[in-house]
Amino acid sequence: MVVIIAAIAVAAVLTVGHVKFGWFEKQQEAVAIVEEQTASDGTITEVAKTLEPAKADYVLGVVYIERSGISYELEKGSELKAGDVISTSTKARAGIMCGNDTIYLNENSEVEIASFDENGLSVTLNEGEIFTVTDSETGINGFSLGDGEVKAEDSVLSANVHGDYCEVMSFDGGASLSINDETVKLSKGKAVSFSKEGEAENVGITGSMLNDFNIEYLKKANETRTTCFTDDELDKISADRKAETANAEENASSTAASTATPTATPTAAPTSTASTTQAEDTTTETTDTTQTVEEEISTSEEDTSSNDTSGIDISESGSTSGSTSVDNSVIELPSNNTTGGYDGYVTVTINCSTILNHMEDLTAGKEGYVGNGDILNAQIPMNNGETALEVLKRACETYGIQIEYTADGYVEGINYLYEFDCGYLSGWMFMVNGWYPNYGAGSYTLSAGDVMAWNYTCDCGVDLGATQQ
């Protein structure tokens, strides 16, 4: 028996050593490359160099590497090879360096090392977000996401994948994106978004499109590059967000009743004239999936409605109705955090003030639902792991605000104001802590203390500062 146990232990050690440290296995070798160098007189010469394998440049928090089907924690300095899958957990980040180039992974992200050869390192972004800084011809060759292939030579880029939705933002350089047999130039200051079923869309990058991850690494890139955002501009974006967040929290708190639970008297819903072009069936059972930032793109994900811990009964039609006049108070947090309690608050605002400048375009008979533009400003209890869509549903149910969404989770209307009710570019967009996420509310996980705003746009986000024309 002792011999058997010892044999098992030895086998386990050999297995871990084989996978983690590469015992008895050929390691990723350096590759010979040729670089062109231009002299001051214009003469071009070829210089033979060696490109060392990629490695984990830094590791913050819990980061995993999966190799040959076995997963373990990634350590700083570890060499990487084709087939490795790197994934970051919540509040974790990682950096992959190859040559002088670096790929930074945001939290809850996953990349796979696709190849390493004379062309450099290529990765596949499976989920989440990366930020790349490439300064040389050899190092990081590019990356793929969804159906797109990015050539990242000499550029500063950010890319993210959430479900079928993909986006690449170019902050410097001349990278390119190949998708659907077409090549799109990633011009400085431009963002390209696309889905598996939609065409690529090119828009200008605004400050509201940058999250904290982008801002942090843009400032790092600015140490050696000139991106489309200066450090002063980035600092102003951060300061404005903090001020806006503090102001929203203060407003919600100042109008709150100390212990009152809000109530509302339901009113009859008007006949809706909203367009149904985005979904064939708007009466099927609700699923907590995705509400995209760009109004034309909607995505589907696995039904997660069974995970909704709100305790609120949402009708199968995906619609709730109630009074359009709300008492903006705070829902009392349970005195203990036992099963069924909540973990904290999210400040939720709902606003349609952009319509006030376009009343002539508003669907006839809906003027009464606009008011002064403010529909809700309240603190809503939430549980860890809940999405923006789940908390929005709780807010609307609690305060008796009508909401309608499709079977795939796309929010069509709030307070009887629907997409296309104020022009063909109108609809609802959501913002968290001053940033308009470029993926759906059903995919965005909130944290206690967040400030979430649902704003109505009449111009596909341009009037909100979410996109540029």
CATH (domain of 391)? 2.170.130.30
Where does a domain end: 229, 259, 274? Answer: 229
Same domain, 199 and 117: yes
Provide the residue type at 449 as one letter: G
Cβ of 91: how many Cβ atoms within 10 Å? 11
pLDDT score at 396: 95
Please state the rounded mean pLDDT for residues 162-191.
Answer: 89
In a domain, 337, yes or no: yes
Same domain, 436 and 297: yes
Q: Is the pLDDT of residue 324 over 80?
A: no
Last residue of a domain, one of 179, 198, 229: 229
Q: Is residue 54 in a domain?
A: yes
Residue 96 within a domain:
yes
Q: Which pLDDT does position 326 carry in this prediction?
A: 46
Q: Are residues 134 and 189 in the same domain?
A: yes
Of residues 166 and 52, more confidence is placed in 166
Q: What is the pLDDT of residue 258?
A: 37
What size, in residues, is the chain?
469
359 alpha carbon, distance to own chain's centre? 32
pTM tops 0.85 = no
Asked whether residue 215 is domain-assigned, the answer is yes
pLDDT for residue 5: 59
Q: How would you classify the pairing of strands 70-73 and 63-67?
A: antiparallel
The per-residue pLDDT for range 392-410, each reduced to its tens digit, is 999 999 999 999 987 666 7
Number of domains composing the chain: 2
> How far is residue 11's CA from residue 199's CA, in Å, rounded to a whole number?
52
Rounded CA-CA distance 340/332 in Å is 13
Q: What is the DSSP string of 238-304?
A: HHHHHHHHHHHHHHHHHT--SSPPP-----PPPPP----TT-S-SSSPP------SSTT--------
Q: What pLDDT is stored for residue 191 in this prediction? A: 92
Q: Average pLDDT of 135-148?
A: 84
Shared domain for 94 and 129, answered yes or no, is: yes
Least confident of 169-173, 375-379, 433-437: 433-437
Q: What's the chain's average pLDDT?
A: 77
Residues 311 and 456 placed together within one structural domain of the fold: yes
Q: How confident is the model at residue 468 (pLDDT cuts 50, 70, 90)?
A: low
Which pLDDT score, from 0 to 100, does residue 71 have? 95
Both tokens of residue 326? Answer: 């709300």
- Which of 229, 264, 288 is the C-terminal boundary of a domain? 229
Residues 202 and 257 in one domain: no
The parent domain of residue 338 ranges over: 245-464
Whether 19 maps to a domain, the answer reads: no
Do 326 and 216 fall within a single domain?
A: no
| DSSP conformational letter for 312 | -
- Claim to verify: residue 222 and residue 277 sit in the same structural domain: no
Report the interhelical angle of 212-221 vs 231-254 (nearest 10°): 160
Lookup: tokens for 456:
């109505």
pLDDT for the residue numbered 104: 96
Residue 136 within a domain: yes
Q: Is the pLDDT of residue 26 over 90?
A: no
Give dist(CA 407, CA 382) in Å, integer: 23
Residues forming beta bridges with residue 376, ordered by sequence position = 350
Residue 318: which pLDDT band, with cuts at 50, 70 and 90?
low
Per-residue pLDDT reduced to its tens digit, 333-349 = 444 333 357 889 999 99
Q: Do 254 and 206 reside in the same domain of the chain?
A: no
Greater confidence (76 vs 263) lies with 76
Same domain, 356 and 450: yes
pLDDT for the residue numbered 314: 32
Strands 155-162 and 120-134: antiparallel
Neighbours of 123 (CB within 10 A): 30
The answer on 104 and 197 residing in a single domain is: yes
- Give residue 465's pLDDT: 83
Question: In whole angstroms, what is the distance from residue 276 CA to residue 405 CA?
Answer: 11
d(CA 134, CA 139): 8
| Domain assignment present for 268 | yes
Three-state secondary structure call for residue 321: coil
Mean pLDDT of 54-60: 92
Residue 185 and residue 293 share a domain:
no
